[in-house]
Structure 1
Amino acid sequence: MKAIVRICESQDLSKIVQLWYKTWHYSFPNIRHPQPYYLWEKRFRDEILCRGEVWVADIKSQVVGFIVVFRVDNSKTTGELNQIFVDPIFQNQGIGSALINKAKTICPQGLRLTTLQSNTKACYFYVKHGFFYR
């Protein structure tokens, strides 16, 4: 089943935060995040959503992934891939690739990103998509 990548709508916010929280904890099962869920909602709404361009991967009205792209220095062509998450149930189905390709079209002159080195699955994914370590 193919996901549709579309711009985030206001009714997607709670679904995105739930997905973000769930997938982060799935990716890092040995790390207990110190912030409670309500602070994740606040951070997304007050710090991320207002600064970034948010796109979701949608399958039959279910948000199964999302990206957040920040423009670098108000550039129209370069940016930072601030967040990319895909529901673990839908991983390895091309959804992450579709999202990262969308980010590349938003910022055709380049994207930067950071991730934890311990997140080896994500590191492999990023290298596969043309990113490299410094």
Structure 2
Amino acid sequence: MQTIRPYNTSDIEQVVKLWWETWHQTFPEIKHPQSYAAWKARFENDLTIKGNIWVAVEGVIVGFMVVIEEERELNQLFVDSNYQNRGIGKALIEKAKLICPQGLTLTTLQNNTKACLFYEKHGFKPGMMSNNKINGQPNIEYS
């Protein structure tokens, strides 16, 4: 059974590993310009400072999300590919909506069709398109 709980600093290795591996499994055709160490530094020095982070646990961490409340932004939402389609993403999105009941925005890569369908299923509407500042790929914003 899964639980959703606040992030603890001791979770960093599990969370960053999940983030890195899931992103690269989702986009095997894209060579990300940043190293694992850069992802970890971004998580530690940016997301943990600005964000409200929650993890989904089923014995181990199987998903996480970062909500930046001041910007009403769902900045990250990742579920381990071995645990997808089990309601974990839905539980995280519901938690995000509780954190920001006035509404949320998020950005994902346009070619992440699985994520786009997931967000639309959960009430998000597609909007502005842009390019990701870090990896250069086309983004789509949802609200």
CA RMSD of aligned residues (A): 0.8
Deviations 1:93-124 (A, max 9, x none): 00000000000001111011111110000000
| 1:3 Cα offset (Å) | 1.1
Measure, in 2, the Cα distance between the counterparts of 1:44 and 1:102.
Answer: 20
| 1:35 Cα offset (Å) | 1.0
Q: Is the 8 A contact 2:69 2:99 kept in 1?
A: no
Q: List, as ranges, runs of 4+ consecutive aligned residues in structure 1 with deviation greater than 6 Å.
A: none
Measure, in 2, the Cα distance between the counterparts of 1:12 and 1:20.
Answer: 12
Deviations 1:17-62 (A, max 9, x none): 00000000011010011111111110110111110000000012x0
Measure, in 1, the Cα distance between the counterparts of 2:70 and 2:107.
Answer: 14
Q: How does 1:91-102 map to 2 (within 5 A)?
A: 91-102=84-95
TM-score by length of 2: 0.87
Partner residue, 2:113: 120
TM-score by length of 1: 0.92
Q: Which runs of 5+ in 2 are unaligned?
A: 128-143
> Greater strand share, 1 or 2?
2
Residues paired across the two proteins, number: 127
Identity percentage of aligned residues: 53
Bigger relative contact order (CA 8 A; separation at least 6) = 1
Measure, in 2, the Cα distance between the counterparts of 1:9 and 1:34.
Answer: 28
Measure, in 1, the Cα distance between the counterparts of 2:103 and 2:126.
Answer: 15
Measure, in 2, the Cα distance between the counterparts of 1:95 and 1:131.
Answer: 17
| 1:72 Cα offset (Å) | 2.9
